[in-house]
Amino acid sequence: MGYSLSRLTLESDHFDPGNAAVHGVGNGQTPNKPLHNLEHEVAQLTKLRSAPNVRLTQIGPRRRDLPVSTVRMLAGREGNYSGRGGRFSSADRCHVLSRYLPVNGPWFVDRRSSRAYVSQFSADGSLFIAGFQDGHIKIYNVDREWKVQKNIHVQSMRWTVTDTSLSPDQCYLVYASMSPIVHMVDVGSSEVESRANITEIHEGLDFSSGDDGGYSFGIFSIKFSTDGHELVAGSSDDSIYVYDLEANKLSLRIPAHSSDVNTVCFSDESGHLIYSGSDDTLCKVWDRRCFNTTRKPAGVLTGHLEGIAFIDSKGDGRYFISNGKDQTIKLWDIRKMSSSPARTPGLRSSEWDYRWMDYPPQAKDMKHPSDQSVATYRGHSVLRTLIRCYFSPAYSTGQKYIYTGSHNCCVYIYDLVTGAQVATLKYHKAPVRDCSWHPYYPMLVSSSWDGTVAKWEFPGSGEAPASLYY
């Protein structure tokens, strides 16, 4: 995606949509076709964070309907047109880097004879974590040519590794499965082969509340708080759990939904707000500052017609996206939430089950009559497993894209504001459950049920031109 640096000219404003890795997909859509024109505060904020300085747009003639070319931006920087002493602002940087999408490749990271369920870069991009159904979690050192830094042999796993989370200081990793026991591993230890109670300790954190009557539940989602002092988890007993790591005990259980809580996360660095999504089709917002008087949600967001597979927060305490089993991603503004859910109409057969059935064709274009979402994104598919979606990195793109895995073996990248599919990465032979965009470089890693973890890049050499990063 973007230019080949060897053939840039000052007069060129051409925006090349790339190579054979970029394709249109189903539902009659074509590449780069807008789904909507988002007129909302989030659209304006996105443009502010990824638009160049106005003075840099005035260097010579250009087509106003196309982005300012990279070479024009570099020329303006060298000439100090923006008055910043020959430096890019963060918005200038995002304008340049967001054009270089990680669509070239892929290159192998790893392959196992087992489904890959979770995969994520660390916050600084130096580590990459991948979890497999055969009970292995691998931590790769990205800066050392993806050498395996630790191979964790999961303890007491049930069904699969459902989620992992790396502590903010990157010292500890927690992993969960269909069990109330979450295990914690020392990432920085010298042991490469991490076998529980053999080579090192996998500390068990018991999320059982003690009043569950012996019922054994599973954990679908787990996340560290920004300060690293707490864990939040969503479970198969319809509840949200918060674990206090300093006190080493469960501090909170919320009977949150009427069905499985598939996904939870903290909304921002404060840790006060928690977002949750459930098979009851609802997204809920929980404000822990109000829990002295009530355990009710601060608000409910209605709009999905089927269960929620995953939630990702924008990190600002206001916006988040959710992947739904109704085959859509929705963008939410929590200021639009209500105190109680609107009734979900019976728009499909109650016998439909995403685990083994295709989505009913007649339901694909249906919309909830009380939809509170800001925007809806379509094209990918959410079937068989809890497929994950994310905002693109703030540093390099200004979060102007959202991206997701898909049951049809692809990774989809959408423009946040227009809803257009700007890239579709085709390679895998089975559902892509998780994917992760490097926080600083144009690199994306996808993990699939075909057992392959693959790396996509621009331009494909592993590094972007150094001059773009300051």
Residue 457 has pLDDT above 70, yes or no: yes
Give the best-scoring range by mean pLDDT among 63-67, 96-100, 163-167, 350-354.
163-167
**Share of the chain residues as helix, strand and coil, in percent rounded to the nearest 5:** 10, 35, 55
In a domain, 275, yes or no: yes
**Quick one: pLDDT at residue 49?**
86
Q: What is the pTM of this model?
A: 0.87
Q: Which of 80, 97, 114 is the last residue of a domain?
A: 97
- Kindly state whether residues 227 and 301 are assigned to the same domain: yes
Of the chain, the percentage scoring pLDDT greater than 90 comes to 68
**Quick one: pLDDT at residue 242?**
96
- For 181-227, the pLDDT digits (tens) are 999 999 999 999 999 889 999 999 999 866 554 558 999 999 999 99
**Quick one: pLDDT at residue 55?**
62
- Kindly state whether residues 125 and 26 are assigned to the same domain: no
- Kindly state whether residues 435 and 294 are assigned to the same domain: yes
- Kindly state whether residues 413 and 283 are assigned to the same domain: yes
Q: Which of 58, 74, 97 is the last residue of a domain?
A: 97
Residue with tokens 């340049």: 96
Residue 3 has pLDDT above 60, yes or no: no
Is residue 231 within 8 Å of residue 274, measured between CB atoms?
no
**Quick one: pLDDT at residue 21?**
44
- The pair of three-digit structure tokens given for residue 176, joined into one six-digit string: 């969960």
Q: Which domain holds residue 247?
A: 106-469
Total number of domains constituting the chain: 2
- Kindly state whether residues 187 and 307 are assigned to the same domain: yes
- Kindly state whether residues 266 and 399 are assigned to the same domain: yes
- The pair of three-digit structure tokens given for residue 14, joined into one six-digit string: 């051409």
Give whole-number Cα distances, 314 to 266, 319, 401, in Å.
Answer: 10, 6, 11
- Kindly state whether residues 324 and 284 are assigned to the same domain: yes
- For 259-309, the pLDDT digits (tens) are 999 999 999 999 899 999 999 999 999 999 987 667 899 999 999 999 999
**Quick one: pLDDT at residue 7?**
28
In a domain, 45, yes or no: no
Kindly compute the dihedral angle of the four CA atoms of residues 302, 275, 253, 436, in this order, to the nearest 10 degrees.
120
Task: Count CA atoms within 13 Å of residue 358 on its CB side.
Answer: 6
**Quick one: pLDDT at residue 38?**
81
List the CATH number of the domain containing 172.
Answer: 2.130.10.10
Q: What's the average model confidence in pLDDT over 354-373? A: 92
- Kindly state whether residues 87 and 110 are assigned to the same domain: no
